């Protein structure tokens, strides 16, 4: 779950909806992408769908768990099961997203997860018609698009950045795989300006979201009620120059 924090409410965005935005950004980019890469970019957070269907309360914060503070062991189990599904959709999707997950700061050095994922990639590699250099280039694109979509979903005007990790573009500057930089500027909640703009045309994104009144809940039952009563919306954002 992605969470925007405001003084009197929270706005929640499902992980897979953020992933779909990643795919839309890739499609709007001023460069063609292979279909298998577009699939990986779009589906990389599909494993979170079941969890996000019922937000879980973090008893330490009184708020729903987000992707940032989700318990480690549960996260690894979610990743492993989800990668089984992604590999069944397309072997390259499974391989590339496995590389993505195993290079997160929170998973580096974690065994047996790393060992299991190396074995998965070794098994998938004969079915993937890409050389190692191409795979690393695609991984760089996946990571960059993931980061840009997270920035869009979590940092609009009015949303607090307190507690955000510094890797979430704290300097409002996106580094592209070729080493160039794009400046990010919120003009309003409905418009994000990219300078220079790498998109072939402006993207009019429609992001499903729900707003929970309040910021703290004392039990899972209270959170369930808040989710049931939440305001559902489609947040429209224009992304371009």
- For the chain, the structural domain boundaries read 2-240
Q: Name the DSSP class of 230.
A: P
φ, ψ at 207 (rounded to 5°): -110, 115
Q: What is the pLDDT along the chain (241 residues), one digit of tens a residue?
A: 999 999 999 999 999 999 999 999 999 998 889 999 999 999 999 999 999 999 999 999 999 999 999 999 999 999 999 999 999 999 999 999 999 999 998 899 999 999 999 999 999 999 998 999 999 999 999 999 999 999 999 999 999 999 898 899 999 999 999 999 999 999 999 999 999 999 999 999 999 999 999 999 999 999 999 999 999 999 999 999 9
Residue that has been written with the tokens 């609009």 in this structure = 156
Kind and range of the H or E element at 194?
A: strand 191-195
Helix (H), strand (E), coil (C) string for 126-173: HHCCCCHHHHHHHHHHHHHHHHHHHHHHHCCCCCECCCCCCCCCCCCE
Q: What is the pLDDT of residue 163?
A: 85
What's the N-to-C CA distance of the chain in angstroms? 28
Name 207's Cβ contacts closer than 8 Å, sequence gap at least 6.
13, 17, 18, 21, 152, 153, 234, 235, 236, 237
The structure tokens listed for 172 are: 């409002």
Q: What is the pLDDT of residue 129?
A: 87
Name 96's Cβ contacts closer than 8 Å, sequence gap at least 6.
36, 37, 40, 135, 138, 139, 142
pTM: 0.96
Residue 54 CA to residue 223 CA, distance in Å, equals 9
Q: How many CA atoms lie within 13 A of 27 on its CB side?
A: 13
Residue 96 CA to residue 37 CA, distance in Å, equals 8
Residue 203 CA to residue 167 CA, distance in Å, equals 24
Cis previous bond, 196, omega within 30: yes
Q: What is the pLDDT of residue 234?
A: 98
């Amino acid at each position: 779950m992605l969470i925007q924090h405001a003084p009197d409410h929270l706005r929640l965005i499902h992980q897979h909806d953020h992933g779909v935005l990643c795919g839309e950004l890739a499609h709007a980019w001023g460069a063609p992408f292979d279909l298998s890469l577009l699939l990986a970019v779009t589906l990389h957070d599909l494993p979170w769908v079941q969890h996000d269907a019922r937000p879980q309360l973090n008893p330490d914060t009184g708020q729903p768990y987000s992707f940032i503070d989700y318990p480690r062991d549960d996260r690894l189990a979610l990743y492993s099961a989800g990668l089984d599904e992604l590999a069944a959709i397309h072997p390259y999707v499974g391989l590339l997203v496995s590389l993505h997950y195993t290079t997160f700061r929170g998973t580096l050095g974690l065994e047996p997860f790393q060992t299991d994922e190396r074995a998965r990639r070794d098994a998938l590699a004969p079915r993937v018609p890409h050389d190692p250099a191409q795979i690393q280039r695609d991984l760089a694109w996946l990571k960059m698009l993931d980061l840009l979509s997270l920035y869009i979903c979590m940092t609009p005007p009015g949303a607090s950045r307190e507690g955000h990790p510094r890797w979430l573009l704290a300097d409002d500057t996106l580094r592209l795989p070729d080493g160039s930089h794009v400046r990010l500027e919120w003009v309003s909640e409905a418009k994000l300006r990219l300078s220079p703009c790498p998109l072939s045309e402006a993207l009019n994104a429609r992001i499903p979201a729900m707003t929970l009144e309040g910021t703290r809940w004392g039990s899972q039952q209270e959170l369930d009620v808040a989710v049931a009563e939440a305001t559902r919306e489609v947040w429209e954002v224009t992304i371009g120059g």
